[in-house]
Amino acid sequence: MKIVADENIPLLNAFFQSIGDITTYPGREIGPEQVADADILLVRSVTQVNQALLANSSVRFVGTCTIGTDHIDLAYLEAQEINFAAAPGCNANAVVEYVVSVLDVLAEQQGFNWQDKVVGIVGKGNVGDRLYQVLNKLGITCLVSDPILEAAEDESCEYVSLDQLLAESDIVTLHTPLTEAGDYPTHHLLDAARLDKLKPNAILINASRGAVVDNQALMSSLSAGKPLTVALDVWEQEPEINRQLLPLITIATPHIAGYSVDGKIAGTEMVYRAICRAFGLPSRVRVEGIKPLPKLKALSFSSDACLEEVLSTSIRSVYDVRQDDALLRNSFRALAEDASTAQVFDSLRKHYRSRREFSTVKVKIKKCSGKVSSALKALNFNVVTV
Ligand SMILES: NC(=O)c1ccc[n+]([C@@H]2O[C@H](COP(=O)([O-])OP(=O)(O)OC[C@H]3O[C@@H](n4cnc5c(N)ncnc54)[C@H](O)[C@@H]3O)[C@@H](O)[C@H]2O)c1
Ligand SMILES: O=C(O)[C@H](O)[C@H](O)COP(=O)(O)O
């Protein structure tokens, strides 16, 4: 079989070389010509998969090694009886750890204690629910808005309206898909009116999709002096992000919240297993059999280390969002005259030094307080008491 794939999908040969001949392209350059005689198309979020791409192709299976599927015309694939698989939850832990790093950094910069804040979570799916569980275990009060789960009478938490969440949360973090249709569309969910409802000095984090927040309205609000701290990992019009918005954003990253090594490989593996099922193939490849993944040295703390020090040191030893923020700002500052915003944004993502996830890091603690150990376990660290 012929496989056409986004070059940014990790371990393509390890997983798929026994299934077919693989040809890779930059995700944004996969067009009708590239897929014309392909049987299987493997993409990430930057390839629009629709009738314009597939109408005259032989593609029988589309896989996106991502959580988001807003780049896929699902109705068209179904109508054409083209098999489809995404990778739900594959990098959800990475996004949670991104949010945790943002909170860790802002808590230090603004001198607050997480436990004293109310966190509003918009969207309680794979990412939002994991974040909810982590924050709950850390004793942090959460408000949750998810009208779809609420309508389905989900009882995993008490739900509030979005307007109540915006009015009462100190920190608002967005984890919905980007949708334009249905009962609860999320395109510009946070428009000018809703941005106005955010508390003074609130923190807004968007690691979902750029257009869930009206970026023009956000820029107007911030330019008018609204006291708001914003962390954006996703931007409207990616990769042509609005560079005038950049200086108004406190933490700015190039859509890498889900870019852990573990999450990216999980995405590839999930689509591989779906293809094996769809084509009745033996699912032989195991991630464990692939070259060992980079491991971080174990951390250890003295028994009198304070909780804040242990948490912050552990988080930053694995991921410090300030590094990605600085890299993005320096890259745009150094932007060569002829280099476009899109080239810089995409290059940062293509050459991203993927990080590991907290669960892969062993933290050795000498007879520490139960509070420290349980907090680290809440963050999914691999805790060993020595
Ligand atoms: N920045 C990144 O690198 C990154 C990584 C992973 C996922 N994402 C994005 O985050 C989104 C969420 O990821 P997930 O794995 O939790 O997806 P998911 O599908 O598991 O959960 C999404 C949740 O949002 C809820 N929802 C839908 N419309 C809503 C609305 N109007 N208001 C409130 N809630 C609403 C759904 O009911 C669902 O519970 C993905 O669709 C993707 O676009 C971004
Ligand atoms: O939807 C997802 O899984 C994430 O947004 C992921 O980070 C997308 O990564 P990309 O396809 O842009 O490489």
DSSP 15-84: HHTTTSEEEEE-GGG--HHHHTT-SEEEE-TTS-BSHHHHTT----EEEESSS--TTB-HHHHHHTT-EE
Same domain, 131 and 237: yes
Whose tokens are 């969440």? That residue is 165
Q: Is 71 in the pocket of ligand 2 (CB under 6 A)?
A: no
Ligand found nearest the CA of 7 = 2
Q: Give yes or no: residues 41 and 142 share one domain.
A: no
**Which of 44, 130, 175, 209 is the catalytic position?**
209
Question: d(Cα 380, Cα 377) in Å, to the nearest integer?
Answer: 5
150 vs 308, more confident: 150
Residues 138 and 198 in one domain: yes
Tens digit of each residue's pLDDT (9 = 90 or more) over 205-236 = 999 999 999 999 999 999 999 999 999 999 99
Q: Same domain for 131 and 150?
A: yes
Q: Based on the residue annotation, tell me whether 155 is a catalytic residue of this protein.
A: no
Q: Which atom from ligand 2 is nearest to the alpha carbon of 44?
A: 11
Find out whether 24 and 12 touch, Cβ atoms under 8 Å. Answer: yes
| Best of 99, 127, 261 for a ligand 1 pocket test (most atoms within 8 Å of beta carbon) | 127
pLDDT at 369: 72
Rounded percentage of the chain residues whose pLDDT exceeds 90: 84
Are 231 and 166 in a shared domain? yes
Residue 98 marked in a binding site: no
- The phi-psi region of residue 279 (left if phi > 0; otherwise alpha if psi is between -120 and 50; otherwise beta) is alpha
Q: 67: domain range?
A: 2-86+260-289
Same domain, 104 and 162: yes
109 and 246 belong to one structural domain: yes
Same domain, 204 and 104: yes
Query: What pLDDT was estimated at residue 198?
Result: 98
Q: Is 255 known to be catalytic?
A: yes
Same domain, 223 and 281: no
- Residues 37 and 127 placed together within one structural domain of the fold: no
Task: Decide if 255 contacts 235 (C-beta within 8 A).
Answer: yes
176 lines ligand 1 (CB under 6 A): yes
Domain count across the chain: 3
pLDDT digits (tens, 9 = 90+) for 321-377: 999 999 999 999 988 666 789 999 999 999 998 789 999 888 887 776 788 888 999
Quote the ligand 1 centre to 298 CA distance (angstroms): 33
Residue 71 appears among annotated catalytic residues: no
Question: Is the ipTM here above 0.95?
Answer: yes
The CATH number of residue 30's host domain is 3.40.50.720
pLDDT of residue 54: 98
- What confidence tens digit (pLDDT) does each residue in 38-66 have? 999 999 999 999 999 999 999 999 999 99
Ligand 1 close to Cβ of residue 122 (< 6 A) = yes
Can you tell me the mean pLDDT for 163-167? 98
**Closest C-alpha among 271, 264, 326 to residue 94:** 264
Does residue 159 have a known ligand-binding role? Answer: no
214/172 same-domain check: yes
Any ligand 1 atom below 6 A from CB of 231: no
Work out the percent of the chain whose per-residue pLDDT is above 70.
97
**Whether residue 176 sits in one domain with residue 52:** no
